[in-house]
A and B are shown apart, each in its own frame.
Chain A
Amino acid sequence: MSELQIVLPRFRRRNLAAGLFDSRLNGLLTLACLAVAVWMFMPLWRWAVNDAVWTGLAPDCGVDGAGACWAFIGAKFRFIIFGFYPPALQWRPALVILGITILLFVSARPQSWRKWLLLLWLAAIPLCWLLMAGTLLPPKVPTNQWGGLPITLLVSLIGLATAFPIALLLALARRSEMRILRTIAVLFIECLRGVPLIAVLYVAMLIVPMALPADALTDKLLRAQIGITLFVSAYLAEVIRAGLQSIPAGQTEAAYSLGLGYWRTVQLVVLPQALRIVIPAMVNLAIGILLNTSLLTVIGISDLLNAAKTAATDPNWLGFHSEAFVFAACVYFAISFGASRYSIWLEAKLQART
């Protein structure tokens, strides 16, 4: 998406002088901005660095005039990252995070966009789930004990992956000539895009158990995952539709005239071009999903944000909410910022190639 494309100013000396003090007005503006920035950031700096307590226990942080209590983050680090997962088994979520990170880095290179990568992901995600649940390697850990970063990562990745086929069909249906199919797709997409994610999660939490036979889908996380998948599929469908629309009609007509059927045309001619165009938009959507999974906190699933929130209610470390939130914000920021840089780089690369 060109929306995120940012031209980095090069900090050469000539540029710096031109950008800061080339006219009297500009010089004044520079000084004023610096003054405001210093005035606003000094208290923050004092809180976060100067007066901060880096080591020790809760009483050390309770001192009057003390700033941020980073010792609290040190003590609760494992809890914020892994939630209520049994401490002896925390190598499992750690392994899941590591595996997902490596996979993400591997799939970031356009050279590795081959069939094996797709198969790797299709194998890796269920494997992560099985490893977390301990199905293959007892003891088992029920999903209500999962928490922290693995939940955030797994729910967003699984959401994106499972939403993809649904979104593809929805996008095709919305552009199809078949009136009933098109109407159903439009209704589905617009209704899901029109309501807040919280409402969708409430439906998944409260209505779905009523709508299904008594003992089906008792797992809360699974239900939330279904809600998120459906929500994402509506947004992803619109992204894919944009890609489909950008393919000139001549391509389809040429394929038809060669005697290809609808599905072969879509598979061989339309999709490879359309999907390539919308990859940067999909990366941006993925960032949005990652940030939106924090809403799981509202329905009581212990994702990263909720784990951070819960950490601040530990009786030994009471009330360090701001520190917990700032730490969680840093984790979210690191992932999203990295991904948004990547999408800019990717867009430039893909444009250069075509």
Chain B
Amino acid sequence: MLLRIASRKRYEPGFSKPGSWASARQWLGPSPFLQAAFLFVVLAVCWYLGNNVVETMQRLGLKLGFGFLSQRANFEIGESLIAYSSSDTYARALLAGLLNTINVAFFGCVIATVCGVMLGIARLSGNLVLASVARAYVEIFRNTPLLLQLFLWSAIFHSLPAPRRAIEFSGGFFLSNRGIFIPRLIFDGPSVFIWLPLAAAAAGVTIIATRRRFFGQRFYATRILVLSVAMFVAVCWATGVSVSAELPARGGFNISGGLSLTPEFAGLLTGLVFNAAATIAEIVRSGIQSVGNGQWEAARALGLRPGHIMRLIVLPQALRVITPLMTSNYLDLTKNSSLAVAIGFPDLVSVANTTANTTGQTLEAITIIAAAYLTLNLAVSVLMNLYNRRIMLREERRR
């Protein structure tokens, strides 16, 4: 402790600055030789293990390195966001897997947040039935293994009726064992402008959301919604792009049209969302409960309505407790999406696993998995920490 404080001290005139060796010693901390010896032991163990791996791989006739990535993969992937066929390279297969992971993690985080916040508020409701139902939900999903839940969801989605006898909901939703079919938005018009309306809506959201940063104005969700919809409609009208919803419909042996989610994707997403929502519910509940009762009472004494108290007084304070926990929950969800390998959804782990099996390049495949997840984790934590900085207490930020 003392040493660290000393190293940050500005040196007054008259004192001589420590030399480079002394600074290095200060930076290293106490007993540098012991530390160097420890580092040496760690490196030696790593070198020994690494050397053994290289030797084993040579014995098996495998070449260490990532050269295999440019070879033909020769295996199919059930679904991918980018065009992929078995004649593509391993690199492209892994990219397809990575995109699948990001896809499921992103939608998982978004949907789980919405469900979890609603559940967390339901947990705190004064209504005993609502609170007990939410509590039972949380207990069940937190106290059983996620993998088991995934197996169960996967079994359920695969045991749905065949497309011909699919369960139909009003509004064009179909449930069948070939997947879940939902309506899809179709943009029609000059191909150059197709993405413009969405871009305009996104710009609208960004402008209002960042206005506070530059002009100090508050933003409200309703205003964001209205402006983004308005910009969307205006740009659609101006560029001549028409938007229509394509409803899935029964036809022959399958359901055609609309957006289809495969049973694997649906199973994984549902499992992750149901599981994470339970944790998020607890985080939200503990966050809201961490705001003292006195705050509520004071706000009531000022004559504020419950909705306003929640939005203006309780939530801003609760968010400080909630955000860091939420970050680790998002990281968990991202990592948990790797369980896809057990229910046959081709995520990164699953594709890397197949790659390792077909090429024998196990070490490289696992390195890719680890590097990808570490990078994803880093990205999520950086984003969430930025957000966290914004909502922290002012005094805390200045520190």
Contacts and interface: CB of A to CB of B under 8 A. Distances in A.
Answer yes or no: do A and B interact.
yes
Interface of A: 2-6, 9, 15-16, 19-20, 22, 26, 29-30, 33-34, 37, 176-182, 184, 191, 194-199, 202-203, 206-207, 210-213, 249, 287, 291-292, 294-295, 297-298, 305, 309, 321-322, 325-326, 328-329, 332-333, 336-337, 340
B374 interface: yes
Interface residues of B, number: 64
Given A213-B52, A297-B342, A179 B152 contact: no
B144 A19 contact: no
Contacts of A329: 144, 148, 152
A294 B143 contact: no
A322 B152 contact: yes
A305 B145 CA distance: 9
Given A194-B377, A210-B56, A203 B3 contact: no
Given A180-B38, A210-B363, A37 B133 contact: yes
A198 B49 CA distance: 21
A322 B286 CA distance: 34
Nearest to B130: A33
B338 interface: yes
A3 B147 CA distance: 23
A294 B29 contact: no
A309 B374 contact: no
Contacts of A287: 143
A325 B370 contact: no
Nearest to A41: B133
Contacts of A328: 148
Interface string B120-149: 000001111111010100011011111110
Given A179-B27, A179-B35, A195-B374, A212 B144 contact: no
Interface in B343-379: 349, 353, 356, 362-363, 366, 369-370, 373-374, 377-378
Nearest 10 interchain pairs by C-beta: A19-B128, A294-B145, A336-B143, A196-B338, A177-B29, A211-B49, A180-B35, A210-B56, A196-B335, A291-B145
Nearest to B4: A177
Contact of A3 (B27, B36, B133, B286): B286
Contacts of B325: 3
B50 interface: yes
B245 interface: no
B283 interface: yes
A28 B98 CA distance: 47
Interface string B175-201: 000000000000000000000000000
18 contacts: A3-B325, A177-B1, A177-B3, A178-B35, A179-B27, A180-B39, A195-B369, A198-B339, A198-B349, A206-B356, A206-B366, A210-B53, A291-B146, A298-B341, A322-B152, A322-B155, A325-B148, A337-B139
Interface in B14-62: 27-31, 34-36, 38-39, 42, 49-50, 52-53, 56-57
Nearest to A9: B128
A181 B38 contact: yes
Nearest to A21: B127
B366 A203 contact: yes
A12 B63 CA distance: 73
A29 B127 contact: yes
Contacts of B374: 191, 194-195
Mostly, the A contact residues are: helix
Given A178-B29, A199-B366, A297-B342, 8 more contacts: A33-B127, A195-B370, A207-B362, A210-B56, A298-B147, A305-B148, A322-B152, A333-B143
B270 interface: no
A184 B363 contact: no
B93 to A, nearest CB: 18
A332 B35 contact: no
Contacts of B133: 33, 37
B145 A196 contact: no
Contacts of B377: 194
Contact of A177 (B30, B131, B369, B378): B30
A30 B127 contact: yes
B141 to A, nearest CB: 10
Interface of B: 1, 3-4, 27-31, 34-36, 38-39, 42, 49-50, 52-53, 56-57, 125-131, 133, 135, 139-140, 142-148, 151-152, 155-156, 282-283, 286, 325, 335-336, 338-339, 341-342, 349, 353, 356, 362-363, 366, 369-370, 373-374, 377-378
Contacts of B131: 9, 19
Contacts of A295: 147, 339
Nearest to B122: A33
Most buried by B among A210, A292, A333, A336: A210
Most buried by A among B3, B27, B147, B342: B147
Nearest to A3: B286
Contact of B155 (A2, A199, A291, A325): A325
A194 B381 CA distance: 11
A325 B341 contact: no
Nearest to A333: B143
A199 B373 contact: yes
A20 B52 contact: no
A321 B325 CA distance: 35
Contacts of B56: 210-211
Nearest to A16: B128
A298 B150 CA distance: 12
A308 to B, nearest CB: 8
B53 A207 contact: yes
Nearest to A213: B52
A176 B378 CA distance: 24
B151 A332 contact: no
A340 B363 CA distance: 38
Contacts of A336: 142-144
A199 B349 contact: yes
Contact of B143 (A177, A182, A202, A340): A340
A20 B143 CA distance: 28
Most buried by B among A29, A30, A33: A33
B136 to A, nearest CB: 9
Contacts of A37: 129, 133
A326 B338 CA distance: 23
Nearest to A335: B143
Contacts of B1: 177, 249
